[in-house]
Amino acid sequence: MHFDLIVIGSGIAGLSTALSAAPRRVALITRGVLADDGASRWAQGGIAAAVGPGDSAQAHARDTRIAGNELNDLAAVDALTGAAAEAVAWLEACGVGFDRAAQGYLLGREAAHSQARIVHAHGDATGAEVMRALGAAARAATHLQCFEQHLAESLLQVDGRVVGVAAAGAQGRIGLFAPHVVLATGGIGALYRHTTNPATADATGLALALEAGAGLADLEFVQFHPTALRTRDGRSGQLPLLTEALRGAGAVLVNGAGRRFMPAVARDAELAPRDVVARAVWAELERGETVWLDATRAVGAAFPQRFPTVFASCLAEGIDPCTQRIPVVPAQHYHMGGVRVDAAGRSTVAGLYAVGEVACSGVHGANRLASNSLLEGLVFGRALGRNFAQQPVQPAARFDLPAMTEPVDGTVGATIDTAVRDLLWRHAGLVRDAQGLQQAQKTLQMLQREAATHGERRRVAVAHCIVAAALQRRDSVGAHYRRDAAQMRTG
């Protein structure tokens, strides 16, 4: 099957790319159901855009750089923040119903933003609303052919150039060919014990890129969200997110004794940068404390209307957040590192592109500013798609699909995976040091030998790259915190 473009992944980055590439013929490969199997639909906070009175793209860019510890790619930051307002308008034209005030959008405030600039939908259900609208647009688009329930097994290459994808579905293996292949596969949450990501965020895109010989960058920068809901069963894997907007609305973090600990840690207390808050929560837990998010005063009876998603998650755990505190644990949330791409989304391998969380354009630097992630997929996905739409059509390669010696398993859950998750959580998590990272390297080498399937080996290989990157960066910066570093670097 021949196309002008293949997109792997159906989150906001994949769909923005695919929709904007019209009239080019696009194949969209997704592991589950269109628009439903990535992290985008779980996003609660919203989309940051300078659309409020007195706000500007420059102020948004400044906040983005400060959050990123000034390690950001400046051109990428300007491209992101400069296109935000127009991209939000495009989403509205696609049918997304954002929450509105009497004049303009109802804007939320999140940590490290100098002002309220988060547009959201149905309170805390922004990702779900965006994916509903984009999914409907994708189903209606005639230039798009969707391959649902298909797992991208490998990238097909000729003379080093990526020319297609081998994918496995219920009907067997298929070969899709196109001169351009875009990875929009999301993040790496499934490699960590606790995460806000769905199980499909299992580093597939990084593994495919690695196997194709593409460069990866900034892998040590892994962001942890301070407030995931600690469930009664203490399970690992995806945990319900307690959006930062709750703290933006005035919710506070307290320990078991009911004492607020953030004011002693940072001037902005609960609204300090995400890594600062997440590490403070971690430190309390390491001390044997329990940590709770108390929104009873700040939100109280308005919970069901203002934060329906969080409200439902709490009720499912037997907690009424209008009147009760919510137990929290930090959780892996977002990967700033990824497949190294240039301003046009190109990886270091010809024919291969990356966009959204799987990509590393440098836009986030060492730490992503809240609500810049849907924005990233949206803005850079649209730019990439439009670029393809404007390029002359190139012929796709034609050759027989090579035999796959060993199929890739699409489920994370084997013993090896549990070991990887625990290892990264402990040694390449919120707090790291050389000794722990070296120990992790040794264990990963052993796990690589023991891994029984191609999928397991892939995940171990990506984990290895993350640990190696964390070991190499000896100082603490942004989300990468080395307890053995002399001092926190500020940029």
Closer of 20 and 44 to ligand SIN (Cβ): 44
Residue nearest ligand SIN by beta-carbon distance: 45
Token output for 434: 């050389």
d(CA 274, CA 295): 18
Catalytic residue among 109, 274, 382, 459: 274
Residue closer to ligand SIN by CB (options 291, 370) is 370
| Contact partners, residue 11, CB within 8 Å, separation at least 6 | 35, 38, 39, 40, 41, 131, 184, 186, 356, 357, 377
Question: Closest separation between CB of residue 296 and ligand SIN, Å?
Answer: 19
Among positions 45-84, residues that touch ligand SIN (CB under 6 A) are 45
Query: Which ranges in 391-432 belong to alpha helices (H)?
Result: 415-427
What is the smallest separation between the CB atom of 327 and ligand SIN, expressed in angstroms?
A: 17
**Which DSSP category does 488 fall into?**
B
C-beta separation of 164 from 300 below 8 A: no
Reported in sequence order, the residue ranges of 68-220 that DSSP labels E, i.e. its strands, are 107-108, 118-119, 144-147, 151-158, 161-169, 172-177, 181-183, 194-195, 216-217
- C-beta closer to ligand SIN: residue 9 or 45: 45
Smaller CB separation from ligand SIN, 333 or 427: 333
Closest distance of CB 490 from ligand SIN, Å: 23
Q: Give me the least distance between CB of 225 and ligand SIN, in Å please.
A: 6
Tell me whether residue 73 or residue 124 sits nearer to ligand SIN (CB atom). 124
Give the nearer residue to ligand SIN in terms of CB position, either 12 or 26: 12
Q: What values do phi and psi take at 438, rounded to 5?
A: -65, -40
Name the H helices within 74-203.
Answer: 74-82, 84-93, 126-140
The distance of closest approach from Cβ of residue 91 to ligand SIN in the complex, given in angstroms and rounded to an integer, is 16
- Closest to ligand SIN by CB, 185 vs 371, is 371
Residues 313-352, mask of contacts with ligand SIN (x by CB under 6 A): --------------------x-------------------
Nearest distance from residue 351's CB to ligand SIN, in Å? 31
Note the residue count of the chain: 491
Burial of 220 (0-12, 13-18, 19+ CB in 10 A): buried
Give residues 209-238 in contact with ligand SIN (rule: CB under 6 A). none
The DSSP letter of residue 8 is: E
Instruction: Look at residues 471, 362, 485 and name the one whose alpha carbon lies nearest to residue 71.
Output: 362
* 373 phi and psi angles, rounded to 5 deg: -85, -45
358-417 residues in contact with ligand SIN (CB under 6 A) are 370-371, 373
**Cα–Cα distance, 419 to 340 (Å, whole number):** 27
Letters for 243-262 (x = contact with ligand SIN by CB under 6 A, - = none) are: xxx-----------------
Report the C-alpha gap between 130 and 462 in whole angstroms.
Answer: 30
Contact region with ligand SIN (CB under 6 A), list: 69-77, 240-248, 287-295, 340-348? 240-248
Taking CB under 6 A as the criterion, the residue among 17, 30, 40, 44 binding ligand SIN is 44
Task: Report helix, strand or coil for 154.
Answer: strand
**Residue 483 known to be catalytic:** no
How far apart CA 418 and CA 408 sit, in angstroms, is: 18
Minimum CB distance to ligand SIN, residue 44 (Å): 4
456 in contact with ligand SIN (CB under 6 A): no
Q: How far is the CB of 246 from ligand SIN (least distance, A)?
A: 8
Give the C-alpha separation, 378 to 302, whole Å. Answer: 30
Query: Nearer Cβ to ligand SIN, position 127 or 410?
Result: 127
State the number of binding residues for ligand SIN (CB under 6 A).
Answer: 9
Distances (CA, A) of 365 to 216, 277, 278, 355, 369: 14, 18, 18, 16, 10
Contact residues for ligand SIN (CB under 6 A)?
44-45, 243-245, 333, 370-371, 373
Q: Which residues are catalytic?
A: 274
